[in-house]
Chains A and B, each alone.
Chain A
């Protein structure tokens, strides 16, 4: 079998196993990558590659950033900051029409500024926001949609686990990726808010306004939000100056998170244990996917498939934006049928070299890809955020997916804005990082 053909067969076998066996995505990538590598080279080479690659990636200094960023998010989550953030935001926006939905989105955005996971954001926000919106007789379609769409900001707004993994995989600076992400995050958050305004304009009875808070109440609610801002500031400042590594920034933030939340009396020994346990499990999952993708990519590279595809596409002489939309189409489709992070890593060995060959900036491409995978997490049939919201709130899954659909244009519009103004949306900030 010729190299590229073996590569294509490998991808097909992997997809078949993924869909028809009950086997985790990480294991399939490892398995197919290992067997494929043995066929492409020799069994002896594959055995040695497996041991040394796994040890190499497990003991890679750069990858230690994964458990640490997850830990910051989990500590904040277990300390119950989501509650405080929600009430603080509510004091400022609750009196507007659809104000609770806006509160949900803004509080999710604030929570995401410290948590890199969308499911954690979806779970915590469902617990806080859904009962509040129920009390004010919000329509289920507005309730569920705002929580699900808000939660997707968890993977987008830095520190984002998807961007960390993208950076580690492609060798791009995590600091640059995080700073390049600031404007896209703001654009998407504003567009999601605009969607709420649009929905409540058309259906004023879906989100009735709440009582107005006094200025005194508003300012008294702020200190907890300030904690989050401090942690976010520390991480971003540290990465901006380049004085510390991403791992160190995350470690310092974890340490500060423990200190601050203990001083506020929010973190008990038991909660800290819970946060550590959750961190171990989640980072083990993420790490195995990364390791699987690395082995799978090794296999694809020896088959010569990625460079073959890149050559083939460039021979077609299509305009680069057409190719980009085709790539994005794959991501949307992939995001619909499998976990976003897993799909990202399965596909990067093929699409990343292609995007670079087309002349796209790797930092910018990372933002677009993250936006698309973010959108995948609210799309049927596997949109994970919708599952969490439905599971936590008891609102039927079908309703949650329908409610999330209102927000899809916001994502697509964000992507278009990023394509039209690549410099002003991404590069202008990412270039400032040393």
Chain B
């Protein structure tokens, strides 16, 4: 399970990196094309959707490394078992929240798909991007569940 989640996180990271590179190239090309008077409508939309993928794809990996900013000036002084318990509670709460969020994003994507909603300029069906963001949050939820069990199960210092 752990290896599976690790592997998927890395795959998503790769997707995020590609999305970031495309973002740079597309926005740069758009500036160039405007300077050359060959306007290319609709880049704003694609840039926005790519931007959503960039962040969503980095979610599981960032959590795996526990990179998110935390205020631990008090809790770092607590004894190790207490710290582990607190980490487990935190992971559980976060997993619940992001589980709900994933579910809501899927519903939201369904709504858009069924309503046949398209982006304004390009008339692009954008629900796949919403599902993409949902995948990022779904895997984040899995990572949190995994980290909760790690915090409960192992001895010694909890993973930072």
Residues of A within 8 A of B (CB): 18-27, 30-31, 34, 47-48, 50-52, 54-55, 58-61, 63-64, 67-68, 71, 243-244, 247-248, 251-252, 254-255, 273, 276-277, 279-281, 283-285, 287-289, 337-339, 341-342, 381-382
Task: Provide 22 A-B residue pairs closer than 8 Å at the C-beta atoms, listed in order of the A residue.
Answer: A21-B89, A22-B83, A23-B94, A24-B70, A27-B90, A27-B93, A51-B104, A51-B105, A51-B107, A58-B133, A60-B48, A64-B48, A244-B31, A252-B27, A252-B28, A281-B67, A284-B55, A284-B61, A284-B67, A287-B55, A288-B59, A381-B73
B16's nearest neighbour on chain A, judged by CB, is A280
Least CB distance, B14 to chain A, in whole angstroms: 10
Contact of A276 among B20, B51, B126 (CB under 8 A): B20
Whether A26 touches B69, Cβ cut-off 8 Å, given contacts A20-B75, A55-B133, A280-B57, is: yes
Q: How far is the CB of A253 from chain B (nearest CB, A)?
A: 9
Enumerate chain A residues within 8 angstroms of B72, measured Cβ to Cβ.
22
| Contact partners of B100 in chain A: CB under 8 A | 34, 47, 50
Closest to A49 in B: B104
Given contacts A247-B27, A280-B17, A342-B69, 20 further A-B contacts (CB under 8 A): A19-B74, A22-B86, A22-B158, A27-B97, A51-B105, A54-B137, A58-B51, A58-B56, A67-B23, A67-B51, A68-B24, A68-B27, A243-B34, A251-B27, A277-B13, A280-B20, A280-B61, A280-B62, A283-B54, A283-B58
Interface contact B71-A382, CB-CB below 8 Å: yes
A223 to chain B, nearest CB (A): 24
A interface footprint on B109-136 (CB within 8 Å = 1, 0 otherwise) = 0000000000000000010011001000
B93 touches A23 (CB 8 A): yes
Interface of B is mostly: helix
Interface residues of B, count at CB 8 A:
59
| CB-CB under 8 A for A280 and B28, given A19-B74, A27-B97 | no
User: Roughly how many angstroms separate A59 CA and B56 CA in the complex, as a whole number?
Assistant: 10
List the A residue with the shortest CB-CB distance to B137.
A54
Contacts of B90 in A (CB 8 A): 21-23, 27
B48 surroundings in chain A (CB, below 8 A): 59-61, 64
B57 touches A34 (CB 8 A): no
Least distance between A259 CB and chain B CB atoms (Å): 10
Q: Taking the complex as formed, is B152 at the interface, i.e. its CB lies under 8 A from any CB of chain A?
A: no
Q: How far is the CA of A52 from the CA of B44 in the complex (A)?
A: 19
Q: Which of the listed residues A24, A52, A283 has the most CB atoms from chain B within 10 Å of its own CB?
A: A24
> In the complex, what's the smallest C-beta–C-beta distance from B113 to chain A, in angstroms?
13
CB distance from B49 to the nearest CB of A (A): 6
- The answer to whether B20 touches A55 (Cβ under 8 A) is no
Return A24 CB to nearest CB of chain B, in Å.
3
For the complex, what is the distance from the CA of A71 to the CA of B107, rounded to whole Å?
A: 33
**A165 → chain B, closest Cβ, in Å?**
13
Residues in B with CB closer than 8 Å to A64 are 23, 47-48, 50-51, 54
Kindly state whether residue B150 has any CB partner on chain A within 8 Å. Answer: no
Q: Take A26-B68, A58-B133 as given contacts and tell me if A382 and B73 are in contact as well, using a CB distance cutoff of 8 Å.
A: yes
Contact status of A63 and B51, CB under 8 A, knowing A54-B133, A58-B133 = yes
Could you tell me the distance in whole angstroms from the C-beta of A234 to the nearest C-beta in chain B? 11
Task: Enumerate chain A residues within 8 angstroms of B69, measured Cβ to Cβ.
Answer: 24-26, 285, 289, 339, 341-342
- A52 and B71 contacting across the interface, CB-CB below 8 Å: no
Question: Given contacts A21-B86, A247-B47, A255-B28, are A338 and B94 in contact (CB under 8 A)?
Answer: no
Does A284 contact B58, Cβ atoms closer than 8 Å? yes
Given A51-B101, A59-B51, A68-B24: A25 touches B74 (CB 8 Å cut-off):
no
By a CB distance below 8 angstroms, the chain A residues around B154 are none
Contact of B87 among A22, A248, A289 (CB under 8 A): A22
Q: Would you call B21 an interface residue if the criterion is a C-beta within 8 Å of the partner chain's C-beta atoms? A: yes
Given A34-B97, A55-B108, A67-B20, A281:B62 Cβ within 8 A: yes
* A251 CB to nearest B CB, Å: 3
**Which residues of chain B (8-61) have a CB below 8 Å from chain A?**
13, 16-17, 20-21, 23-28, 30-31, 34, 44, 47-52, 54-59, 61
CA distance A31 to B100 in the complex (A): 11
Instruction: Kindly list chain A residues whose C-beta atoms are within 8 Å of the C-beta of B24.
Output: 68, 71, 251, 254-255
B3 at the interface (CB under 8 A from A): no
A295 CB, nearest partner CB in chain B, Å? 10
Contacting residues, chain B, for A25 (C-beta < 8 A): 68-71
Query: Which residues of B lie under 8 Å from residue A285 when comparing CB positions?
Result: 62, 67-69
Complexed CA–CA distance, A281 and B25 (Å): 20
Give CA–CA (A252, B23) in the complex, Å: 10
